[in-house]
Amino acid sequence: MRSIEVKGTARTIAERSSEQARALKEIRKNNGVPCVLYGGGENVHFTVPVEGLRNLVYTPHIHVVDLNIDGKKVNAILKDIQFHPVKDTILHVDFYQIDEAKPIVMEVPVQLEGLAEGVKAGGKLALQLRKLKVKALYNVIPEKLTINVSHLGLGKTVKVGELSYDGLELLNAKDAVVCAVKLTRAARGAAATAGK
């Protein structure tokens, strides 16, 4: 798994919610993003410049985040991001500290491999789930989950329950469709005229 360094500055939390809201507004006004690190006992509140998060947030890859908060270094994963509903700017980021002895839950991108039999016959391959939720020790989690689809015929699917990976527990519903080969309109028309 790739790693990326993010530098932040610790901040204190105001006692009253009105003061806290004002402080968070000021942070965002100065191109900062309020962040919280969970999982290390006590939650750590810190601020990161927007530029420091771009390579982490706007990428299809997953990363281990090397957090540097005022010189204190911690390994973490990105747990949650909140975006502004209109401007699409980052409002808040949650990180989760990695404990090498405990499994973590995160979403891993899916990559399809091979040319499906159904595509050769005129179908279209559709990826339904771009990421799968897995639970494992962080050093076992791969950058992507590869699925070979060369055996898929027309109208066939790959479901989560059919997949297995060493050291990973898949948490998505077992009957959830990951990918399917669908019959295209042109292929349906050709089949209808051939049947007459």
Sequence ranges of the domains in the chain: 2-97, 104-195
User: Mean pLDDT throughout 16-21?
Assistant: 76
User: pTM of the entire structure?
Assistant: 0.78
Residue 125 vs residue 12, higher pLDDT: 125
Which candidate, 171, 104, 108, 105, places its Cα nearest to that of 145? 108
Write the pLDDT tens digit of every residue in 117-139. Answer: 999 988 999 999 999 999 999 88
Angstrom distance (rounded) from CA 126 to CA 128 = 6
Which candidate, 170, 162, 160, 161, places its Cα nearest to that of 133? 170
* Highest CATH level, class, for 2-97: mainly beta
Angstrom distance (rounded) from CA 12 to CA 21 = 13
Angstrom distance (rounded) from CA 149 to CA 181 = 9
Which candidate, 20, 6, 111, 13, places its Cα nearest to that of 60? 111
User: Which CATH superfamily does the domain covering 104-195 fall into?
Assistant: Ribosomal protein L25, C-terminal domain (2.170.120.20)
Q: Is the separation of the CB atoms in 134 and 169 below 8 Å?
A: yes
pLDDT band, very low/low/confident/very high, at 38 (cuts 50, 70, 90): very high
Question: Do 104-195 and 2-97 have the same topology in CATH?
Answer: no
β-sheet bridge partners, residue 131:
109
Q: Is the separation of the CB atoms in 129 and 195 below 8 Å?
A: no
Task: For residue 61, give Cα distances in angstroms to 52, 111, 152, 154.
Answer: 16, 11, 26, 30
Task: Say what the alpha-carbon torsion angle 136, 145, 94, 103 is, to the nearest 10 degrees.
Answer: 0
Write the pLDDT tens digit of every residue in 151-189. Answer: 999 999 999 999 999 999 999 999 999 999 998 877 676
